[in-house]
Amino acid sequence: MSANPLLPPMYLPGQEPMPPGTTPQEREELQQMLKYQKMMGTVMESCPLKVVMAGGAGFLMGGFFSLMSATFAYEDPLSRASRDVVGTRAQTAYVFKEMGKSMWRSGRGFAKVGALYSGVECGIEGYRAKNDLTNAVSAGFITGAILARNSGPVAMAGGGAAFAGFSAVIDWWLRRPPAEEI
């Protein structure tokens, strides 16, 4: 029995009580598992990994959107190629090369936006030590302003406001309670 029954029991790390019948080998395996679990949690919450993951996901999404827009193009892609290239095989190769270039450009743009937003949001979250809607709005404004920096201060303010609004709506939608809790 503890000296004060109103206080919870305190145990040193690795000395927590285990269920009856637990062997020392099972205790060691549990400790190893908890160590790896803590390491993985630390890695998954790190800003560099978040930036790389957002950039990679943005690259894939941008490439996919570009592929879809090339697929649903109003004009016939072969008619564009027919001006420069003769032969069906050469025209097909030309069209696929153009689609690849378009996918690369679009993917690169989406990757830049995703990595920039993720990095700014992670930096703000680390500075504020909070995870709330304010981080998303602030990161959206800063990201929008950085993306519009070459167009002047008015465009920076407009781009920041638009990206902040978009970020607020998306973050609000992701944080809303599930339908069964409403």
- Residue 95 neighbours by CB under 8 Å, 6+ apart: 77, 78, 80, 81
Residue whose C-alpha is closest to residue 137's, from 112, 169, 173, 175: 169
Our CA dihedral for 44, 49, 50, 55, rounded to 10 degrees, sits at -140
Question: What is the DSSP code string of 77-141?
Answer: HHHHHHHH--SHHHHHHHHHHHHHHHHHHHHHHHHHHHHHHHHHHHHHHHHHT--SHHHHHHHHH
* Cα angle, residue 53 at apex, residues 155 and 98 outer, rounded to 5°: 70
Q: What is the Cα–Cα distance from 59 to 111, expressed in whole angstroms?
A: 5
Question: pLDDT grade, residue 167 (50/70/90)?
Answer: very high
Give pLDDT, residue 122. Answer: 93
| Mean pLDDT of the residues in the chain | 87
Summarize the confidence of residues 97-123 as an average pLDDT.
94
**Which of 5-14, 44-53, 63-72 has the highest mean predicted lDDT (pLDDT)?**
44-53
Q: What is the pLDDT of residue 57?
A: 96
CA distances, 45 to each of 2, 33, 119, 123, 159 (Å)? 37, 18, 12, 12, 28
Length, in residues, of the chain: 182
